[in-house]
Chains A and B, each alone.
Chain A
Amino acid sequence: MPLLSVGAAFSFLIMMFNLPLPGGTTGHAVGAALIAILLGPYAACISVTIALVIQAIFFGDGGILAIGANTFNMAFVMPFVAYFLFNFIKGNSQSKKRTYLAAFIAGYVSLNIAALFTAIEFGIQPLLFKDASGLPLYCPYPVSVAIPAMLVPHMLVAGFVEGFVTVLVYGYINKTSPDIIDKGENFKTKPLYGLLAAMIVLCPIGLLATGTAWGEWGSDEIRELIGFIPKAMENGFNFNSLMPDYTISNIPEVAGYIISAVSGIILIFITFKFINSFKRSSE
């Protein structure tokens, strides 16, 4: 049981590590794939759920109603996909290369599948929730826009970050203390199975039933949707005191934000145009 607290704390903190990306910005990994490989998918599921709950309530940028959908994507879909993919590719092979390749692919693919689920959840909102005149109430972008808008940045950038973090951390732990990596049988939490089952059932229901307002989604998805892969805004900050009340002015980072915002909008525009012209030509 302490393992769950620590696992949750660990998965919360992985998301806080920002890695440098080409072009001077940074990106972070979700870590669900890594935890699934290290601790097994059930422990990963619970750990990431708790991490997301704490993130939404205490470090939140809103997103309380979206916990259901978020956990479904990042705490359920992602670790299970990663775990099975990892074991499928690795097989019974003892080869280091193959194991590391499996870890990378597990990270890359599971993140993209989670992003795909998120995009579909965004995308079906305009179908489900409309106002009297038929205009979408929440997320205004249909599946055909949401999927490329989510997947392009994930496939090109975020997926690689996830993959590299997964393989490098796995490699480090495999090298330093190989005995603590999950062998598939050492996780017993009977009392938590009920909770787990409830979550697995409740997540999709909650997702469809609450009619989650788009803006209620975690800020992360919002920014990712428009290409805001960089997370915080304090690049180049020289930490000055442990307490808040800081004032930072940093021009390059602001410029980076504007550039990524603009490119995100352009991406959405292009998709719009493309789909419209496609529709017209098919009519």
Chain B
Amino acid sequence: MDWLFKEDDYVPVKDNSRYLGKNIFIFSEIISKIINGVNLRQSNSILSANPLMRFILLISTIILLSLSTKVTFVLLTDVLIVFTVLAIVKNNHILKAAFTFASFTLIMLIPSILNGNKLNAIIIVLKVFGDICSVSILTSTTPWNDIIKVLKFFLVPDIFIFVLENTLRFIYLLSNISFETLCALKLRSIGKNNKKYTNMSSIIGNMFLKSKNMSEEMYYAMECRGFTGEYEIKTRFHFSIADLLFATLIVVVFIFYFTMGR
């Protein structure tokens, strides 16, 4: 017992444990993204309107963007999207992230560009940029549960929507647990760890065991509250002036595409 009552003269040896910092960052990011995404409330009346129209606009934009072969259409759509980000969403992170991914794509296309396929490469890069921006616009302006509920209009079964909603919740709960465990692992990593894979796998394994328990508990709790296997989602979406605006936008995008995009 004497060792506990005197100070160790200890100098750590070199051992790379940067991956822990990275993991801790990733999990803190997931947690904060979910908190922000679920708690979104818009003061801007245009953006607080019916998410269905926005969802359709997003999907049509993405499909038309990917179908189009004309650089003018793609470029124009991108300009409109950037304008939306700057004027309405006011979130520069979106542009930064999209720019990063577009650059990755560009790097990858270098061999093909050098082989002479220049214009198509530019179109692809512009498309990547537009896609990422437009998805981010939706997810950064619409509470995430509303986006999931939109699926009901596409005849996705309620039970599937229920599963999706709960998945988000469980991702949040489980990431909190993993986040703390990773912090603990970091604090306790005071020297050379030869079992990094074993430790990380145990954390994953623990997460699995915990999720198993959670699912059982949730099932019992549902039964106790009289759950019978039916789950109905009530949606209250009203059609407002803002929706008309989005409906118009959808039509405009399609007209654009058929006049200059094909």
Contacts and interface: CB of A to CB of B under 8 A. Distances in A.
Question: Do chains A and B make direct contact within the complex (CB under 8 angstroms)?
Answer: yes
Interface of A: 1-10, 12-14, 16-20, 24, 26, 38, 50-51, 53-54, 57-62, 64-65, 131, 135-138, 140-141, 164-165, 168-169, 171-173, 176-177, 180, 191-192, 195, 210-216, 219, 222-223, 225-226, 228, 231-232, 234-239, 242-244, 261, 264-265, 268-269, 272
6 contacts: A57-B147, A64-B62, A140-B112, A168-B202, A215-B128, A242-B31
Q: What bracket does the count of chain B residues touching chain A fall in? A: 35 or more
A137 to B, nearest CB: 6
Given A169-B208, A215-B125, A26 B28 contact: no
B26 interface: yes
Contacts of B247: none
A140 B168 CA distance: 36
A1 B30 CA distance: 24
Contacts of A212: 66
A213 B167 contact: no
A191 B109 CA distance: 44
Interface in B161-175: 162-164, 166-171, 173-175
A213 B160 contact: no
B63 interface: yes
Interface of B: 16-19, 21-37, 59, 62-63, 65-67, 69, 93, 97, 101-102, 104-105, 107-112, 115-117, 120-121, 123-125, 127-128, 131-132, 135-136, 139, 144, 147, 157, 159-160, 162-164, 166-171, 173-175, 178, 196-198, 200-209, 211-212, 214-216, 218-219, 222
B209 A213 contact: no
Contacts of A19: 19, 196-197, 200
Across chains A and B, which 5 residue pairs bring their CB atoms closest together, nearest first?
A215-B128, A168-B201, A9-B170, A172-B205, A5-B166
Contacts of A5: 163-164, 166-167, 169-170, 215, 218
Given A5-B167, A236-B18, A58 B144 contact: yes
Contacts of B18: 20, 24, 235-236
Chain B binding site: helix, strand, loop or mixed by DSSP? Answer: helix
B216 to A, nearest CB: 8
A2 B168 contact: no
Contacts of A26: 19, 22
Contacts of A211: 66-67
A239 B25 contact: yes
A173 B209 contact: yes
A223 B105 CA distance: 8
